[in-house]
Amino acid sequence: MSTQTSADAASDEIEQFDRKDVMHGFATLNAQATNEVVVMSEARGMRVIDQRGREFLDAGGGLWCMNVGYGRQSIADAAAKQMAKLPYFHTFANFSNEPMARLSERLLKLAPPGMTRVVFASSGSEANDTQIKTVRRYNNLLGRPLKKKIIARLSSYHGSTVAAGSLSGLPMMHRTFDLPIPGILHTLATDYHRRPAGVSTPGQFTQHLIDDLVRLIETEGPDTIAAFIAEPVCGSGGVLVPPEDYFREVGKVLDRYDVLMIADEVITGFGRTGSWFASPGLGIRPDLMSIAKGLTSGYFPMSGCLLSAKVADVLYADKGADAMFAHGFTWSGHPVGAAVAHANLDIMEREALPDNAARIGAYLIDRLRNRLGEHPLVGEIRGRGLLIGIELDGDRATRRPFAQPHRVASLVSRACFDERLLVRGGHGRVVAALAPPLVATARDADEIVARLGRVLDRVAGEAREAGLSA
């Protein structure tokens, strides 16, 4: 006699639909038929519950975006109110809406000095695609048709569309998709943990990185290099924190060769690193900025590009026959998205969440280092605010990475799931990346450390038995 409940039957049905009908992004497709489907059904604060009643502690903030935490009724109310009033209208030509116009003003006040215009989109990928087109138009208007190449960095992530995926410096983003497209170049990552032999200080490493950047510009020809794009702290590439003087030295190089600086603050923006934006504290002087994720804390798909006066003035001075800025998206400046962004920013300001990220982030890193600093698998613990990476090594004494990182990463993923702990990974390396909601408390931090400690203790034994570690 069957004891299956109606809820279990419904869960089984949804999982079958998913396996049969859905093609998941960043998934191993040939394993989709056998992998467990986890159907999330509700969430509150830092916790997410699936259809089978299992509760997970989300220490990854969804996809680095859940800044204000789940279940904020004021955001839902703002969306419902706007939907009832004006659910949609486009913003092409001279059409606008009040939430978007007021959001533009608000964002420019929060942004680093010099930003004067906002172009809205729906995702970080769209924002970075927009940056590429903006840079091209800027140089065309200045009569520099050859100055179009953009330098990104290895281990970076800037999105997954054809153009943004090309900017991303991850081999898995390029293999089988025939990327990167022409005109996209890559220089070295700020990966101090994997620094080359002979480099023993952050200062030496910065010089090593700057030398590589200058060499690339000189080899390609300065008159062909239009822009340099960088995440202030690399997220998906492994939470790579730059040496203290790195971006100041990069700025000197860009000034020398008249190259625009694009700051990709899609992950780092809106309090994630302990301040509204990471650029000022790291010495970045952006000509262009990409924003997304924390803008709405994932409650609505919305992103944007912030333009400095240096760039915007050139675009707005165009009076030629092709003066139309022929770019935009159906949902650019969506009124509901803008209303959600306002409600989200209201929470962040009222609860001082950037300050909380700085305070709890420092506490969390300290607790991680106390618990895991000498762990046999842990090579480095690094981060800024509530953006933290725990890198695992095959041999921590020599900083040697795992020969088969995908196998070890699978062990970590399985152990985290069993501990009901959600973290982000690192492409091509074994990293437990933490980006919990900025509402995290010291108690939440302690719980993350406790669960992660049990995970790594288990993985150490399993990796040793499988011959994957020293």
- Kindly report, residue by residue over 261-275, the tens digit of the pLDDT: 999 999 999 999 999
> 1 falls in which pLDDT band (50, 70, 90)?
very low
The reported pLDDT for the residue numbered 470 is: 65
Tokens at 98, concatenated: 């009040």
- Per cent of the chain over pLDDT 90 is 91
- Please tell me the distance from the alpha carbon of residue 132 to that of residue 165, in angstroms, as a whole number: 12
316-321's contacts with Cβ under 8 Å and 24+ in sequence apart are 317/141, 318/141
Per residue in 224-242, pLDDT (tens digit) is 999 999 999 999 999 999 9
Identical fold between 38-68+352-465 and 74-350: no
**CATH architecture group of domain 74-350:** 3-Layer(aba) Sandwich (3.40)
In this prediction, residues 358-367 reach a mean pLDDT of 98
Helices (H), 319-469: 335-350, 353-372, 405-418, 442-465
Q: Tens of pLDDT along 322-361? A: 789 999 999 999 999 999 999 999 999 999 999 999 999 9
How far does the chain reach from its first CA to its final CA, in angstroms?
Answer: 51
Confidence bin at 9 (pLDDT 50/70/90): confident
Between CA 35 and CA 417 the distance in angstroms is: 13
DSSP-H helix ranges across 157-234: 162-167, 171-174, 202-220
pLDDT of residue 3: 62
Report how far apart, in Å, the C-alpha atoms of 165 and of each of 171, 279, 284, 330, 387 are.
Answer: 10, 22, 23, 21, 22
Q: What local confidence, expressed as pLDDT, does residue 143 receive?
A: 97
- Assign domain 38-68+352-465 to a CATH class: alpha beta
**pLDDT tens profile 139-156:** 999 999 999 999 999 999
Which pLDDT score, from 0 to 100, does residue 2 have?
A: 55
Of residues 359, 393, 335, 405, the one with CA closest to residue 100: 335
pLDDT attached to residue 198 = 92
Question: What value does the mean pLDDT take over residues 95-116?
Answer: 97
Spatial contact of 338 and 295, defined as CB atoms under 8 Å apart:
no
Q: 340: buried, middle or exposed (CB in 10 Å: 19+, 13-18, 0-12)?
A: buried
412: pLDDT strictly greater than 80: yes
* Domain map (residue ranges) of the chain: 38-68+352-465, 74-350
